[in-house]
Amino acid sequence: MTDEITSTLGRYIATEILKDPGRQLADDEPLISSGLVDSFSLVDLALFVESTFGVHIDDTELSAQVFDSLRGLAQLVRGRLPPVA
Amino acid sequence: MNTLPQILLRSFQEVPDRVAVHLLEDDADTPVSFRRLVERAAGFSLALTEAGVRPGEVVVLILQHGEALVASFFGAMMLGAIPSIMPFLTEKLSPEHYRRSLAALVEITRPAAIITYADFAGEVRSAIPPGSSVRAVLLSERIAPALSVDGGGFPGLDRSPAEICLLQHSSGTTGLQKGVALSHEAVLNQIECYARVIGMTAADTVVSWLPLYHDMGLIAGFLMPILRRAPLVLMSPFEWVRAPWKLLRAVSDHHGTLSWLPNFAYNFCATKIRDRELEGIDLSSWRAVINCSEPMRLSSHEAFLRRFNPCGLRPESLATCYAMAENVFAVSQGGIEAPVSVDRVDTRSLIVDRIARPAQEDGDALPMLSAGRPIPNSRVRILDDQRRDLPERHVGEIAIHSDCMLTGYFNRDDLTAKAFHQGWYLTGDLGYLAGGEVYITGRKKDMIIVGGKNIYPQDLEELAGQASGVHPGRVVAFGVFNDQMGTEDVVVVAEAGLADEGERRRIADDIRGRINRGSDVVLRYVKIVEPRWLLKTSSGKIARAANREKYLADDKAERQPSG
């Protein structure tokens, strides 16, 4: 299932991190363990999530054990969004 | 005091309770006194002795940031063995590739023992080929501190200053087969001279996140402060890259005075730290932040100063250094007694004539950041292609001579012989001298430097050549400087026959995956081109520099569509 959060994150990673806007990322494609999202870019990803969704990801969570795919990252974000009134 | 273990033992006897190093990890701060450090090191030394390791043999350390790494390094030296740190497996690196790298290191370095963690020992053992030199794999958790150290009795105390005390490698298969062997004498000559140049005393506090397998981390961010009894605050590189603000917090909390950073770290800190993470941070104690180990940019210094000046960072604290493992560390140093010189040169003249003429107008000026004056024990020459001395402001290869040079590349007499010309070490770096100061303009060698890490393009080309659809040998890797990041991006161009768009994308993805998981860097740009795109030298080799120029010209043309 691809929703708004997943596609926003996918677009950001393809454009800003991979420098290849045409690159489609599968929801379950490994991001960190594959090296696609490198260590220099992890903080960027956390900053982007914070400014776009208002959700904080702690630096200790920037690892493949916490999320390693668009799906995993989107779940993390969704779980921290305030409930819709 | 002529050897490293003798100096450490003397600190143990004279100031046992003084903190040698604060180890920072996950918000914890563990102070390690000289007593604790030597007792733990002695434990490693005894364990190595029991395992049959003898003085003069190599011990490879495969450990992450922490007390075991710090203590085992000195422990090997107390036995008179030669420690060599191998980077630990990272999240993205494929275990198969890691095993191959380790096997490459073992083959050339011929270590007698390896020290690692219990849960990594299986990985290490599986990488060691049968019949190799490795007689023991020791588990760091099982090695207890020695309880009664009286300061004597360690075989390492009897080593002569001319003997090799440590090995330092750069990364990748090629780098791991080229260990820089340094003697006690060389390390101590460097430290004594360099400490004087930067005015380092026991009143200084060094704060570092640099890995210890890197020369800047090992010498400036580890051995120099510990041997000079200046407190060291050491954090993990993995933690820093995820939370760069922690470096500034550590400087603020510990009143840090000295740090060394590769150029990219200036941009990284300036752009990736949130305002709220700077609350209460005071950087006024930082007297020198020294830029070293990759091309240095004025714009990186300016961005760093703009961002952290409100936290008390002083403009005069920004400093520069030119260094290499082959000279132990520093060759030249700038920005300590006076601000770093900026030489505004004519861009065209520098590129076309290879002469750094002062720019007439600001319009076409390239601001070159000085790497300062050679430190007193090191001499610098600029040589042309025939190895004749060039006049001031002419760009040529930098050659150095000092009393702190490498003994040689370990077990690689072939490479050692090639590296020297009449006793001068040929650095492979290009630069010029002006007003007695050293300016680095580029590289003669094809090395790529990413985030301060030296990467051999042939390692990346070999990985890319394994992707299906790419002709072996029809691939080239090089670095392109990224001003925003403050370091080089890795680019690969590969030839593939008659591939359609979908096929090209698949090949590009395959190459990306192989390099990301098989090397210490990440591939930023990959371009798949038609056969015969790549330029070759007259001897039939792929010409890296020429293909880099062609790629940049194509890239520029694509960005500026005609019409």
pTM: 0.95
Provide the greatest CA pair distance for chain B: 82
Q: From the CA of A84, how many Å to the nearest CA of chain B?
A: 27
Tokens at B290, concatenated: 């020294």
Find out whether A67 and A73 touch, Cβ atoms under 8 Å: yes
Can you point out the beta strands (E) in B34-104? 58-61, 82-85
- Contacts within 8 Å (CB) and 24+ apart, A55-58: A55/A80, A55/A81, A56/A80
Looking at residue B20, its pLDDT comes to 98
Interface test with B, best of A17, A20, A29, A32 (most B CBs within 10 A): A20
Q: Do A42 and B238 touch (CB under 8 A)?
A: no
Q: Which residues of B touch A59 (CB under 8 A)?
A: 239, 242-243
* Assigned token pair, B316: 């005069």
Of B275, B289, B286, B326, residue with least CA distance to B210: B289
B513 touching A, CB under 8 A?
yes
pLDDT of residue A1: 46
CB-nearest to A33 from B92, B239, B264 is: B92
Contact A83/B at CB under 8 A: no
Written as one letter, the residue type at B459 is: D
Among B488, B485, B492, smallest CA distance to B513 is for B492
pLDDT of residue B433: 98
Across the interface, which of A35, A47, A59 has its CB nearest the CB of B517? A35
Using the Cβ of A34 and the Cβ atoms of chain B, whether some distance falls under 8 Å is answered with yes
* DSSP letter assigned to residue B452: T
Tokens of B181: 């062997």
What is the rounded CA–CA span in Å between residue B497 and residue B504?
Answer: 10
pLDDT of residue B471: 84
B70 Cβ contact partners less than 8 Å away, ≥ 6 residues apart: B21, B23, B32, B37, B212, B222, B234
Whole-number pLDDT of residue B558: 85
Q: Tokens in use for A43?
A: 């903080």
| pLDDT of the residue at B362 | 61
Q: Write down the pLDDT at residue B171.
A: 81
Beta-strand relationship, B318-323 and B288-291: parallel
CA B494 to CA B77: how far, in whole Å?
46
Q: What are phi and psi of A44, to 5 degrees?
A: -60, -40
Q: Within 13 Å, how many C-alpha atoms sit on residue B477's CB side?
A: 27
Q: Do B238 and A39 touch (CB under 8 A)?
A: yes
Residues B213-250: tens digit of each pLDDT: 999 999 999 999 999 999 999 999 999 999 999 999 99
Cα B468 from Cα B293, distance rounded (Å): 35
Domains of chain B (ranges plus CATH)?
34-159 (3.40.50.980), 339-443 (2.30.38.10), 456-559 (3.30.300.30)
Tell me how crowded residue B445 is: count the other CB atoms within 10 A of its CB.
15
Of chain B residues 234-263, which have a CB less than 8 A from chain A? 238-239, 241-244
Query: Which of the residues in chain B have pLDDT under 70?
Result: 1, 151, 362-363, 561-563
- To the nearest 5 percent, what fractions of chain A are helix, strand and coil? 50, 0, 50
A38–B522 C-beta distance less than 8 A: yes
The confidence score (pLDDT) of residue B539 equals 85
Rounded distance between C-alpha atoms, residue B389 and residue B327, angstroms: 21
Place of tokens 């990284």: B268
Tell me which residues of chain B, numbers 525 to 554, contact chain A at a CB-CB cutoff of 8 Å.
Answer: 525
Roughly how many angstroms between the first and final C-alpha of chain A, as a whole number?
24
Q: Could you give the C-alpha distances from A18 to A52, A70, B290, B490, in angstroms and in order?
A: 19, 14, 31, 12
Q: Mind listing the pLDDT tens digit for each residue in B348-361?
A: 999 999 999 999 87
Q: What residues of A are in contact with residue B91 (Cβ under 8 Å)?
A: 32-33, 63-64
Per-residue pLDDT for A4 more than 70? yes
Task: Give the Cα separation of B341 and B438 in Å (integer).
Answer: 10
pLDDT at B425: 97
Residue B187 · residue B534 · CB < 8 Å: no
Q: Which residue in B93, B272, B491 has the most chain A C-beta atoms within 10 A of its own C-beta, making it the best mutation to test that interface?
A: B272
Bridge partner residues of B21 (DSSP)? B32, B232
Interface check A47 vs B, CB under 8 A:
yes
B446-500 pLDDT, tens digit per residue, is 999 999 999 999 999 999 999 999 987 899 999 999 999 999 999 999 999 877 8
Distance CA B407, CA B426 (A): 14
- pLDDT for res B170: 85
Residues in contact with B455: Cβ distance below 8 Å, sequence separation at least 6, in sequence order = B171, B172, B175, B447, B448, B449, B479, B490, B519, B520, B521
The whole-number pLDDT of residue B460 equals 96
Report the pLDDT value the prediction gives residue A20, as an integer from 0 to 100: 86
Q: Please list the residues that pair with B164 across neighbouring strands.
A: B183
Strand partners, A1: none
pLDDT digits (tens, 9 = 90+) for B137-191: 999 999 999 988 876 789 999 999 999 999 999 888 889 989 999 999 999 999 9
Rounded Cα–Cα distance for residues B513 and B524 (Å): 11
From the centroid of its chain, how far is CA B491? 21
Query: Are residues B91 and A59, on separate chains, in Cβ contact within 8 Å?
Result: no
Whether the CB of A5 is below 8 Å from some CB of chain B: the reply is: no
Region A18-28: mean pLDDT is: 91
Contact between residue B359 and residue B345 where contact means Cβ atoms under 8 Å apart: yes
Amino acid A6: pLDDT: 96
Contact B513 A35 (CB under 8 A): yes
Outline where chain A has alpha helix (H).
4-12, 39-53, 70-80
- Give the type of residue at B116: T
Q: What is the pLDDT of residue B150?
A: 78
User: Which residue among B242, B451, B522 places its CB closest to the CB of A43?
Assistant: B242
